[in-house]
């Protein structure tokens, strides 16, 4: 008998402790595609956030100008409009001289025309200078349920960005009762 007993060798292979090159390449490809998909979703989310902020700025500019127009507080009845009709009266060449809602008709500011400014003539920050604004005032009579025909002005402030997209805010302002 031999001093060392014979130890039978297993007929199957030992379990592997390392990855093969193919497994590593497949795992790397899966990781690469996963990271790319996540990065793409982040980029899309940032673009949507920017677009929402851009639209919010446009609406802010429209509302600010509309509030400035309404703060003038005078809406002369149509029979008392100047000889010049809707729009600035003679000598009213800047916003600070406007004394009536209809004086704002045709007002424009912004890209290529002038800087976008607030009611005091102070420039808005640079991010707002990508927009232009235009005002339209139309005299009209609307029918209001329970009140009948009401004369007044429809104000529309249009804000346009550098790509031509537009935002509109419209408000009807009745003429004061006599």
Which burial class, exposed, middle or buried, applies to 49 when counting CB atoms under 10 A from its CB (0-12, 13-18, 19+)?
A: exposed
Which burial class, exposed, middle or buried, applies to 56 when counting CB atoms under 10 A from its CB (0-12, 13-18, 19+)?
A: exposed
Spatial CA neighbour of 130 closest among 56, 63, 65, 54: 54
Residue 110, beta-bridge partner list: 114, 132
Give the pLDDT confidence score for residue 7 in this predicted structure.
65
pLDDT, tens digit, 9 for 90 and up, residues 44-70 = 888 898 999 999 999 999 999 999 999
pTM value > 0.75: no
Q: Report the largest interatomic distance among the alpha carbons of the chain, rounded to a whole angstrom.
A: 133
Q: Give the range among 8-17, 22-31, 137-146, 160-169 with minimum mean pLDDT.
A: 8-17
Q: Can you give the residue ranges of every domain in the chain?
A: 28-174
Question: Is residue 79 classed as helix, strand or coil in its secondary structure?
Answer: helix
């Amino acid at each position: 008998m031999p001093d060392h007993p014979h130890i039978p060798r297993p007929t199957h292979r030992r379990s592997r402790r390392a990855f093969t090159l193919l497994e590593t390449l497949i795992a790397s490809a899966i990781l690469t595609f996963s990271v790319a998909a996540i990065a793409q979703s982040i980029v899309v989310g940032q673009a949507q956030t920017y677009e929402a902020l851009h639209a919010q700025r446009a609406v802010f500019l429209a509302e600010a100008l509309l509030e400035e127009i309404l703060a003038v507080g005078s809406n002369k009845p149509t029979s008392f409009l100047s000889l010049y009709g809707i729009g600035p009266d003679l000598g009213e060449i800047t916003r600070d001289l406007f004394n009536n809602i209809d004086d704002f008709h045709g007002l424009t500011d912004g890209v290529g025309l002038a800087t976008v400014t607030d009611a005091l003539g102070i420039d808005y920050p640079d991010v707002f200078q990508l927009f232009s604004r235009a005002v339209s005032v139309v005299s009209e009579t609307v029918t209001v349920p329970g009140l009948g025909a009401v004369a007044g002005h429809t104000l529309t402030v249009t804000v346009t960005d550098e790509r031509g997209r537009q935002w509109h805010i419209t408000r009807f302002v009745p003429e004061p009762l006599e």
